[in-house]
Amino acid sequence: MQTLQNIIGGKLVTSTSPRTAPVFNPATGEQSAVLPLSTTAELDAAVAAAKLALPEWANTPPLRRARHMFRFKHLLDQNVDRIAGAISAEHGKVHGDAVGEVQRGIEVVEFCCGIPQLLKGEFSRLVGPAIDTHSDRQPLGVVAGITPFNFPAMVPMWMYPVAIACGNTFILKPSEKDPSASMVIYELFREAGFPDGVLNIIHGDKEIVDGILGHPDIKAVSFVGSTPIAEYVYRTGTAHGKRVQALGGAKNHMVVMPDADMDKAADALMGAGYGSAGERCMAVSVAVPVGEETADKLIESLAPRVRKLRIGAADDAEAEMGPLVTRQHMEKVLGYIDAGEREGAELVVDGRGFKAQGFENGYFVGGTLFDRVTTDMSIYKEEIFGPVLSVVRSPDYAHAVKMINDHEYGNGTAIFTRDGDAARAFAENIEVGMVGINVPIPVPVAYHSFGGWKRSLFGDHAIYGPEGVHFYTRLKTVTSRWPEGIKSGAVFHFPTMN
Ligand code: NAD
């Protein structure tokens, strides 16, 4: 069985750690690889390699850094299917979904090809007599990224291409559940000609995360994962003086107004609720029809669609969703379905007991639909991260908005309506970071930035796009004059234009 290796200073290095974790194929339930849970000494070696590579990389002209990015993008384009295969084998998502993930990651690399333009500073002539000021953004140094299982290629690519294009060097700690996609992509990164030590990969668990958070040579940490860990990473990292952006969990609501096209709204809910088996931080897990009549019509449209969901392994070309990532996660999701039933929600479609033919040991849960969910139920309050959609009936629009604003998470939300006034008011007043108007999964494109509000993001910067460039750089402002412009004599008052 394959044992994964770390990448330190451009070399594949076998970990000496006695601790390991199994990696599974979620469709078959069989172990496919062994992952080393690396030691802090191995992290230290990766940071040392990143530090060694830093001066030359930080001083490489941005245009040259961009040329590396162009080559990297080209190689990624040629290897989309291969990367998607590595994702599906460990995550379980169906091939088309994995391809979409890779493409969204490539778009971030495309954005980074424009880094010379993005790093351009400002210049002001004559801020005082014969005095000019210019500013620009400089890299931070060695920075790190800690990533979740649900987008094993795209989420790391939200981080290291931007950081590296800005002139930093990078330590990536991928999810221990599906680490192989990052290894495949690293081969292409190396082939693109990036110098050794610019990107390092260390596999591990909490021990490595804690090592990163306390490491004196790591200047900034990007984290994406569940909210309790995001909060921990933010607090611990900032206590150690680091810049931290920590993106957390979500409970995304989609409001369906009485004037919405019910078939289109139901189609949107199917993709957003059950695509990737609900394991997306932008998945819609709560549908909020406004008015009883809207709710009845929506359930009528949704229920047969959920019953007809095509569920299978990644290589089943017809499959719309695959298994959950691990047995533990499957058990957690099944536990939530039990809880919803116990707490009194109406179970319209029950996904428990689903078995995929030929994959009886896989971690499959069937599409599940609850109606008449109330806001005090655990299936409403907590992130389930599975193919479970809750319908919360709202008497009116104002109640729907208040419910969303009162929720602890604020990652994404959507409204389906034909009413421009309602849509505009929703976008204005909703306390959520990413809003879709008749768009169920409003993940911003690579040249905007991604970030939730409330307990879905800890820190001041959203990720990738212009905010990513700001996160991975610091501003320097230089004010200058030359001897001819300097008047003789000491000046003791604070400098002003008067
Ligand atoms: P997770 O929090 O379990 O793990 C994320 C990372 O943290 C992994 O690399 C893991 O090794 C590490 N980790 C786990 N436990 C730790 C601990 N006790 N101390 C230190 N580090 C620890 O998340 P996951 O299950 O891999 O991913 C799913 C979660 O990620 C969901 O909550 C989802 O909403 C969230 N997510 C959020 C976004 C976003 O952009 N907001 C995007 C994708 C996923």
Domain, as residue range, for 391: 252-437
CA 311–ligand 1 middle distance (angstroms): 25
Structural domain includes residue 488: no
Q: Please indicate, yes or no, whether residues 236 and 263 belong to a single structural domain of this protein.
A: no
pLDDT one-digit tens code per residue, 21-48? 999 999 999 999 999 999 999 999 999 9
Is the Cβ–Cβ distance between 153 and 83 less than 8 Å?
yes
Q: Please indicate, yes or no, whether residues 357 and 302 belong to a single structural domain of this protein.
A: yes
CA 223–ligand 1 middle distance (angstroms): 8
Give the pLDDT mean for 402-407. Answer: 98
Q: Please indicate, yes or no, whether residues 217 and 298 belong to a single structural domain of this protein.
A: no
pLDDT one-digit tens code per residue, 59-87? 999 999 999 999 999 999 999 999 999 99
Q: Which residues contact 31 (CB under 8 A, 6 or more apart)?
A: 1, 22, 23, 24, 25
Q: Please indicate, yes or no, whether residues 272 and 237 belong to a single structural domain of this protein.
A: no
- The best mutation among 151, 171, 173, 175 to test binding of ligand 1, ranked by most ligand atoms within 8 Å of the C-beta, falls on 175
Establish whether residue 459 lines the binding site of ligand 1, counting it when its CB lies within 6 angstroms of any ligand atom. Answer: no
Residues 394 and 448: their CA atoms lie apart, in Å, by 32
pLDDT one-digit tens code per residue, 374-404? 999 999 999 999 999 999 999 999 999 999 9
Structural domain includes residue 115: yes
Is the Cβ–Cβ distance between 454 and 404 less than 8 Å?
no
Structural domain includes residue 487: no
Q: Above pLDDT 70, what percent of the chain?
A: 100
Q: Please indicate, yes or no, whether residues 259 and 387 belong to a single structural domain of this protein.
A: yes
HEC per residue, 214-274? HCCCEEEEEEECCHHHHHHHHHHHHHCCCEEEEECCCCEEEEECCCCCHHHHHHHHHHHHH
Residue position matching structure tokens 């809910």: 269
Is the Cβ–Cβ distance between 411 and 250 less than 8 Å?
yes
Model confidence at 146: pLDDT above 80: yes
Two tokens at 190? 């190396």
Total Cβ atoms within 10 A of residue 297? 19
Q: Please indicate, yes or no, whether residues 227 and 262 belong to a single structural domain of this protein.
A: no
- Say whether 166 is catalytic: no
Angle formed by the axes of helices 206-214 and 227-239, to 10°?
Answer: 30
Q: Please indicate, yes or no, whether residues 320 and 233 belong to a single structural domain of this protein.
A: no
Is the Cβ–Cβ distance between 198 and 163 less than 8 Å?
no
Integer CA distances (angstroms), 67 to 112, 121, 224, 472, in order: 10, 20, 28, 19
- The strand order across the sheet containing 11-13 reads 11-13, 6-8, 199-201, 169-173, 142-146, 218-224, 243-247, 457-458
**Closest C-alpha to ligand 1, atom 26:** 148
Model confidence at 497: pLDDT above 80: no
Structural domain includes residue 301: yes
Q: What is the CATH number of the domain that holds 179?
A: 3.40.605.10
Q: Please indicate, yes or no, whether residues 276 and 222 belong to a single structural domain of this protein.
A: no
Q: Above pLDDT 90, what percent of the chain?
A: 96
Q: Please indicate, yes or no, whether residues 286 and 201 belong to a single structural domain of this protein.
A: no
Q: What is the CATH number of the domain that holds 387?
A: 3.40.309.10
Q: Please indicate, yes or no, whether residues 71 and 208 belong to a single structural domain of this protein.
A: yes
Q: Please indicate, yes or no, whether residues 107 and 196 belong to a single structural domain of this protein.
A: yes
What is the total count of domains within the chain?
2
Structural domain includes residue 281: yes
Instruction: Name the domain boundary from 387, 408, 437.
Output: 437
Structural domain includes residue 444: no
Q: Which residues contact 381 (CB under 8 A, 6 or more apart)?
A: 251, 375, 407, 408
Which pLDDT value is given to residue 484? 87
Establish whether residue 465 lines the binding site of ligand 1, counting it when its CB lies within 6 angstroms of any ligand atom. Answer: no
Residue type for 479, please? T
Two tokens at 42? 């191995």
Angle formed by the axes of helices 95-112 and 80-91, to 10°?
Answer: 130
